[in-house]
Amino acid sequence: MPNARFGVLLANLGTPAAPTSEAVRRYLGEFLWDERVIDVSRPLWWLILHGVILRIRPRKVAKGYAAIWGEDGSPLLAIGRRQQRALAERLAEQFGETLPVELAMTYGQPSMETAGKALRDAGAERILVLPLYPQFSRSTTAAVFDRLARALKPCPHLPELRFVRDYHDHPAYIGALAASVREHWRRHDGERGRLMMSYHGIPKRYAEAGDPYPQHCQATSRLLAAELGLGEDEWLMSYQSRFGREEWLKPYTDMTLKAWGQEGVEHVDIISPAFSADCLETLEELEVENRDNFAAAGGKTYRYIAALNDRRDHIDLLAQLVEQHSRGW
C-alpha cells in the first residue's frame, strides 16, 4: 500500500507472551521498570524489583493469566487485534480509501518498532497515535508517548505525529458505555444492582503532583450516571489494582465491595470504564476475585459488565477520534 495519506497507531499496555512464570517475569520486568509506572530511586527499585518482586510475583500472576488465556492467546492482544481490524474496515468506509491501522503495546509484543515499520512500509508519512486509554494518566498515556519516542529515536526520517491525549468525556464514549450498561440490564430482565464504576488506580501522590487522572475518572462517572439517569445512591466510583504499600486513590474497589456485603447490599453491577479491552484486571480481578470478596461478605448477586472491546459503537467512537484528530491531513 504505497503512500497512504496517514496511518493510525493503536496503543495499549501489553501482555506476557504466554501464561508462564518465565514469560510473566519478562513482561513485569519491563513494565515495572518504567519510571512512569514506578518512580522510586532506580538503584533502590532495582534491588526491590529483581531481589523480591520478580522472584515472587510472576508465579501468582501467571496463574491468573492461565485462568483467562484463550485459544487465541491473551485476551488483551486478541481483542486488540479485533479492534485493529474493525477500525481499519470502519475507516475505509468513512474515508473512502484504505488507511493502515497497526496495534502496538507499550510493553511486550507487538512492539512500537514492529508497528512503526508496518506503517512505514505502507507509505504513511503521518501517524495518528491513539492510546486506548479514555482517561489520561502519566502511568499509561504518557508511557505510550515515551515508548514511541524511544522507538523513533534511531530513525533518520521521522513521521509527522499527532497524539490523542484522552477522550474521557467524549459523547460517543459515554454513549457506548451507557449502551453497554442498558444492554446488560435488558439481558437480566431489567434487574439492576447498585452500579460500581471501577477504575485502575494510581498512587495518590501522582494525583497530588498534578496527574489529572482522578478528575477524568470523576467526569466520566458523572456523565455516565447522568446518561443512565442514576440517582446519587445508585452508583459509586472506585479504584482497583493497587500495588505496593503506599496510599493509592480511594475508595478501593475490593474494600468497598466487602463493606457493601456486610452492610446488606445484595446486588451489584460492576463496570470498568478505564479499560478499552478486557484483560487480567477485568476478567480475573473484577469478574472472579472481587466477586468472591463480595460473596464472602454477604452479597448475593454480582455481575460484571464487559469492556467495550470491539463493539460497533466503540469502533465508531475510535473512528470519530481518528476523523477529528486527522483533519487537514
Residues making up the annotated binding site are 200, 281
Q: In what order do the strands lie in the sheet with 194-200?
A: 235-240, 194-200, 267-271, 301-305
Answer for the pair 28, 61: CB distance below 8 angstroms, yes or no: yes
103's CB contacts (< 8 A; 6+ apart) are: 10, 11, 12, 80, 81, 83, 84, 110, 115
Binding residues for Fe(2+): 200, 281
Answer for the pair 129, 144: CB distance below 8 angstroms, yes or no: yes
> What is the C-alpha separation between 236 and 221, in angstroms, rounded?
8
Residue 213 cell numbers, joined: 487522572
